[in-house]
Amino acid sequence: MPTLKIFYFLFISILVFGCAKKEDSTSSSNEETAISSNEDSNEDSNEETTISLGDNLTKGFMLDQLNAFGTTVLCNGKSAKEFIPRVGETVNCLFKDLTLATFTGVQKKTPDQGLQIREADQFVNQETRSANAVSLIKTMAKIEDQTVDFQLSKSEELSFVNFYKNDLGISSDEFAQLLDQADADKKTNTAPSTHTTKIDEATTEGASTSFKSNFISVNAEDNLIYTPTKVIITTGVLTDNLSRKVEGIEYYTPSSRGKTNENGEFKFSWAEEIIFGIDTFELGKVRGNKTDFKLSDLGSGHVGRNVERLIQRFGQISGSKIKVPDVVKETFAKYPNVINEIIKLSLSEDTILDLGSTQQSIEGEFH
């Protein structure tokens, strides 16, 4: 009997131990299968996610699909030629102090075309502005070997900044006219009257522009003219003495050129000289130290008043505005030599003499 009990005990122990071992083996197998399944799932997930935060784009800051910006533009402080954007970052691209484009949260697209200027924050849903920006850069920048670089003179740079900040929102046709003028500026920077021979001032040896000198030069007063240390682009308004806005007068400054608009407005940099004219005929000049200018300001005394008489005579007056019609501009352009010879703004004006008991009217030479 004891032997039989011992046999049953051993038999039951073997059964219990065997089942436990089998469960452990099954559990271990299940865990290995689960781990393997998770690893496979992670691998599949990694294969599907090919773009993650921090991935590099293959192209940098682009004007269009072919042309990339070069060393004269900085993106996040680095040369645009060397700069490689990363997914998720914000990129700010500058020419000097002018922001050309900002890209918030860079995304990598297929195909990768880099940072296209038309996709910048400033141009989202603004096709006209982006198209004008591209046209402006193509006109004023140098594009060589599919690289865009700015090689502008100081006046060209001022014009570019002014156009980019203030004029991108106008219609494509109006902007094209501005670009035509800008293109002409790159080729020539002549004054309005190309028929006047420039004569250098006569100087005497030993003369000085200093007022403390014993022998003062004739142009010493030029040293007293205020010259700003910072360029300040300003909008001026040209009117007659009845406050009527004058449209269609051409203006020329070191930083800008164009025609006064329907509101008599024009652009200039504070304190620079502004020359006004019709084609090659110079009406006069002023110093840009205020924003409201009269036609009579273009010359001293009766010369300025003759300027106003000329514009009032040939202009079309309508309410509070005076417009120089196209036929006048075309005539001045067609016969420049004749116009410059027959119109003398310095001629005398009508005068009334007081003879005591009576007055006498004297007809002036300017009609």
- Answer whether residue 20 shows pLDDT above 60: no
How far is residue 301's CA from residue 103's CA, in Å, rounded to a whole number?
56
What pTM did the predictor assign?
A: 0.42
Reply yes or no: is the peptide bond before residue 325 cis, omega within 30 of 0: no
Beta-carbon count within 10 A of 317 CB = 13
Residue-wise DSSP of 325-355: -HHHHHHHHHSHHHHHHH--TTSPPPEEEE-
Pairing of strands 147-149, 68-69: parallel
How far is residue 126's CA from residue 136's CA, in Å, rounded to a whole number?
16
Cβ-Cβ contacts under 8 Å for 351 (sequence gap 6 or more): 361, 362, 364
Residues 110 and 95 sit within 8 Å (Cβ to Cβ): no
How far is residue 242's CA from residue 264's CA, in Å, rounded to a whole number?
13
Which helix (H) or strand (E) covers residue 79, if one does? strand 78-79
How far is residue 47's CA from residue 52's CA, in Å, rounded to a whole number?
12
Least Cα distance to 217 among 230, 206, 225 occurs for 206
256, 270, 272, 276 from 226: Cα distances, Å? 19, 10, 9, 21
Average pLDDT over residues 161-169: 86
Q: What is the pLDDT of residues 174-207, one digit of tens each?
A: 888 777 765 655 554 444 444 444 555 555 666 6
Supply 49's token pair: 């996610």
Q: Which residue's structure tokens are 């998720």?
A: 88
Supply 349's token pair: 């004006």
Which of 132-136, 176-180, 335-339 has the lowest average pLDDT?
A: 176-180
Specify which residues 251 forms β-bridges with. 258, 276
Supply 260's token pair: 């006064």
Confidence of residue 216 (pLDDT cuts 50, 70, 90): low
Least Cα distance to 107 among 56, 168, 73 occurs for 56
148-154-160 Cα angle (round to 5): 50
Which of 70-74, 143-147, 236-240, 267-271 has the lowest average pLDDT?
A: 267-271
- Answer whether residue 100 shows pLDDT above 90: yes
Write phi, then psi, for 22 (nearest 5 degrees).
Answer: -70, -40
- Answer whether residue 43 shows pLDDT above 60: no
- Answer whether residue 155 shows pLDDT above 80: no
